[in-house]
Each structure stands twice: as structure tokens, then as C-alpha cells.
Structure 1
Amino acid sequence: MKGSAYYTAPPLVQDPWPIKKALTSSDVDITHPFLTLSRQQVECHILSYMTPQQQEQLRAEAQVGFTAQDDDTGEVSVMKLKWRGSYYNLVGKWGKVVRGKGLQVGQEIKLRWSNGFLHYSVPQQQIVAVPSMRVAAPPILQENWPIRKALTSSDVDPNHPFLPLPRKSVEEHILVHWVPQEMERLRREEQVSIYARDYDTGDVHEMKLKWRGNYYHLIGKWGNIVRHKGLSAGQEIRLRWLNNFLFFSVPEECYIPAGSGRDDSWPIKKSLTLSDVDTNHPFLTLPGKAVEDHILFYWSHPAIEQMRSAYQVGITAQDDDTADIYVMKLKWRGSYYNLIGKWGKIIREKRLEVGKEIRVRWDNDRLMFSVPQ
């Protein structure tokens, strides 16, 4: 997935709106209409108030229908809450809500469960000061990323998910912006919760910064970020602290190497990661923009509509090295895509390893791939 900003202000009395979120670009995208909500918030403040029958339906079917009310207008609609593993999606009439209320990135939505209804509100006067994370927004200049690191094999190991950062860099470029109470808590408790924002996608993750002597470890959702972005050893991650967020970026060119002055017949190239070659959970992660620019671009309108509605499409894949053909699926996961089906078999047959480069293109209605020896 795609991750989002969740926070609850520390009130002196019980907050009537226990779930609050600054809307992201994916939340207001009417071509893929859903609102992403965190697992903890939903289970604490929505599911605990649902009827046993609704809870059982959610467990059995991974989704449950209910009535939602717009407290700003009084409008009522039938919607669904869909379980997506580590988060939930609000679907159904969400696209209509986005259009009807003219929702924008940065606006704050408030939610609560009351009297058998999901209530929500987006006060028009309240815009959360969150900069847009899309490329069209004013970018953070290249020289304004004071912390940079070439990812190592241990950094992208999803079995031991943490990103170590040098103590000096963290203290000079992150902790210097913190209030004394936060720094004292870090020293006393050895870790502090923070929000980390993916500058490339706009996703926000609840994470922790943990003090480990000469290093600070970024933990929490780092394993999810490694899998979702398909990170691999050798890629450069850039970080900075801004507006109470830890921003990070792995530039798109790290996924798709720049052209060398000629027309490259393999527009998508990637160094395989540990998760890519794990035969217990076999899938190949490909970055969303690369897939949309170099694969979906050539698809028919019905195929794209199927991807939007079913989140996956069956395709034919061919190994350009051996000419073997496989029936597989391309699955949409928000900011990235997974190639599934026969991937485990391909891993074993080609003896794929971490660090090997896979090349991908769309040609003659099939997905061509190659792993040069």
C-alpha cells in the first residue's frame, strides 16, 4: 500500500471526532475512489461499535456494508468498509463524496461511529497545511535533502525492517528542529513516534525514531515501505525534516535508469530485492509510474477499466531469455504493482538472487522480461 496521515489531538475532554486525517492525493483521486484509514483507528473507533453480525461479516468476507452520513449536509449513502491487510478502505460512494464536496489534498476529514451510522465531516474552512506531494507541487530542491544514504542489503531486508541513520546527520538535520521535550523523551525512552511522508507518492506512515548509540533507527513501517516501493541495495534514499514531518524520497530515476542517448528497448529495470526472490510469498514488485508509463499505456480501454474495478488483470508473460511463456496476473496495489501467478516458478527456474537486474517491457500484447546472466 498506499499509507496516510492519522492523528488525534490531545484533548482535555473526549473528542467527538476520534478519527481525523489530512486527505492525500490518492484519497481524492476519483479514478480510483476510496478513502484509506489506518487499522488501529478503525478497529478502536469503528469496528468496536459495530454489531456482532457486522463484525462477523467483515471477518468472513473482508468487507461490510453500512450507512454513512455526511454531517455537513445530512446526506445519507450506503458504503462499505473493506479490509486490505494493514489498513481499511472506505468504498462505495466515496467518488461521489469527493466530487460533491469538492475535496482537495490537505483538507481534514473527521469520522466517528454513532447510532449505527458512520458519520463524517469535512469543514470547509479548515485546510490542513500539508504540502502536496505530487510532482506538480513546488519541489524540495535537490540541495535541500541534507541526509542521503545508499541503501545496503540489510536496509532492504524485510525480515529485519529498520533503516539505520548516522547519529551526527540525525542530530544536525532532524533533532535540531525538535522541541526540548521531544529530545528529552528520545533520550529517556530511546524512541519517539513520528510521521514519515513519502515525497514521491504522498503516503504518510506512523513510525518511530529509535536511539542506538552512534546510530538512530527508523522503525515501524519501514518493512512496508521497502516492499511497496520495491527498494533494493544501491538505491539512494534522501531525507529531511520539514513541517513536523520526516520527508523521504527515492527518486524515480532509481527505478528507471535514464536513457543513455539511444532508445532503450527495456524501459523498466530493477535490481531484485529480498521480497522479489522470496518463494514463500512469490511476487515481483514494480513501481506504479513505471508500469503505467510503459505497460498500461499500451493496453486497451477495457483492460484498464478491469484493472480499476478488479485491481488485477490476467496477462501473458514471456521470458525473453528462454522464450518460455507463463499465464500470470498484474495486481494493482496503489503506488505499485505486483506480478503474481508463476513468479515463484520463475524464481526457481532462473535461480534469481538479490541484486540481479530484471528488465521488463510490453511488446505484442505480452509482458516480456529478461534477467541477463
Structure 2
Amino acid sequence: MKRTAYYNDYNDVPQQVHDPWPIKKALTFSDVDTTHPFLTLSRQQVESNILMYMTPQQRENLRAESQVGFNAQDDDTGEMSVMKLKWRGSYYNLIGKWGKVVRGKGLEVGQEIKLRWFNGCLHYSVPQQQIVAVPPIRMVAAPLVQDHWPIRKVLTSSDVDPHHPFLPLPRKSAEEHILVHWRPQERERLRKDEQVSINARDYDTGEAHGMKLKWRGNYYHLLGKWANIIRHKGLGVGKEIRLRWANNCLFFSVPEDHIVAAPSGHDDWPIKKTLTMSDVDTNHPFLTLPGKAVEDHILFYWTHQAQDQLRNEHQVGVNARDDDTGYLYVMKLKWRGSYYNLIGKWGKIIREKRLDVGREIRVRWDNGCLVFSVPQ
């Protein structure tokens, strides 16, 4: 049985919505790509503003099949169409007639789309006056400025894993600071082929590398010679890598003086999360935690053997303690790529602590144990 979407049934649906368009998004390159047409929407927005208003049958269909069909209306033209919402784990895709919408409305990067659920139908609007200014699409041959690195990332354990060598770059950063400098035909080739060869240069040493950029939906992966770079530069968790595009080349730098210190203990709870509908669903009980937060504040303290076990088996048993009650649990941390799931006794914890949407859970790693708290 698929582990798919997760949310509770709500008997009392709010009758008044202060914002008539609770979901707003500036369209990205992938949103307006008619070769692979879909609109990506964040999980929290969809679950809070769409799924909670669907019928129990629609939610059950989404759980069982990972997608659900419904009517959608273009509020700008009144046109109706049948579309689908597809669950992709950490986000949702709106598919079906999305390619037709892109072409029919002439959608472009930077335009804002607004969405809402009303009377059993998904409504959307793209007002023409909401076009957001974006940098011109052209080749830029600007001089490389040493202190100007628009993309910065603190390396995690998965970033420096030589067995699965790739560096994921957030889609927004890659599109705004790399792809914006590409010619249209180069971007089109990336969408069609899913990867494009690029020149890369280590700014610290001057060494050149032939690498590839691959599109993976919410991320762009830098791969090719990444394993060599990990070994040659001795990259490890906590180091900061900086990137920028200039002179038709991807420059990167990992200055030795930019190692990020391990958590100092000033914040007793480095991981804080507001619980969503999927987090408190006892039918499919698990707590989703962001990948970077887990890698920076939990895996950081693990032995190399435990980290290797998680990579190889995709899950590891952990001891967990409820800091509010002192209760101990044997649980598992499961690796899902860009995020982690805490499973095992999570359903029992939901019931015992009566967890609801909107409550905040706090998590830390302490003396070989996963400690959590849900303050009243």
C-alpha cells in the first residue's frame, strides 16, 4: 500500500476567509515549461487551503492513488477544466490541463498566480498587472567579484557523500542566479534532456572541471566531477560553498575560513516545526523533518558508522525521549531524500499528547538520544 497524502478529516470548516486568495506564487521556469507541464505548490499551502476543504472521498482518493481529479475554474475568463492534484512527497503538482493554461494565458516567469478552493472547485487567477520584474534573459560577461557570491550553501552529510556524489542547489537560487544568464535554447535543452554540460572552475585553485547540471523538480543537481571535488578539497559537513555564474562558467569557492561552527548550545531546541495535517494523521503516522535541519543538528553528532547505515538502509533505529513527560520510546529515523521521517511510535505520541495542527514541536539530539518537546 502506498504511503501517500496524509491529513485529518475536519468536521468544522472555517466559514470566513480573510484573504480571498490564500495561495499566491510567482511563477518559475519549471512552472511555465510546456514540455513538462505542471505547477508546483508547497505542501503546507495545499494542505491548509485546499485539502481541508475537499470531501472525505476526494482525500481518500488522494491517499490511495497519490492524485485526485477535480474541477478548476479560471476566474479571469470563467473557463472550466478538469485538473488533477498529484502528491510528490514534500510538495504537490497541479497537472492535467496546466500546459493548456500556460499557453492560453501566455504565462511567463515572474507572473503571480493566485489560487483558492471554493464551492468544491479550485479557482485560479493571473492578473496581468501582477507581473514581477525579473532580470533580462541574456548572456552576461560581468567581471567576477570576489565577495559577490549570490548562492551560498552550508554542506550537509548528503552533499559530501562520495558514494552518491551530487550537490543539490535550490531551484529558486539556480534559476535566479545561473539559468537567468543562459540563452533560451540552453534552458530549453535543460528542460528536455534534464541535464546540460557546463564549465566549472574552482575559484580558490583555478582548476577547471567539466560538470553537468540536472533538473530534478525542486532542485538542480550539480554532478559529474563532484566526487573528485569532495576528495581534492577535503569537503566536510559544515563547510560553506559559494557559487556564481560569470563569463559562461560556474565558479565555486570553499574558503577555509568559512567553516560553520557546530551548534553552540545557546538554543536548546535547534529544530522547531509547526505541525501540519500530515504530521498528526494517525492513519499514516510519521513526523516529517527538513533534511538540512536533521543533517545539521542530528546526524552531525552521529558516528560515521551510523551515518553510513542510514545511507545504505535508508533508516536507523534511535532512542527517543519525551522531554515533557520523561517517557522513552524506540523509534526510527527514515531518510526520504530531501527530508526525514520519524516513525515507529509516532502515532502513539500523537494520541497521548493530543497533537493538533498548528502546535509546535521542538527537537534536539542529546547524549545519543532524540529528545522532543511540545510546550503547552
Please give the TM-score of this superposition, normalised by the length of structure 2.
0.42
What's the TM-score once normalised by structure 1's chain length?
A: 0.42
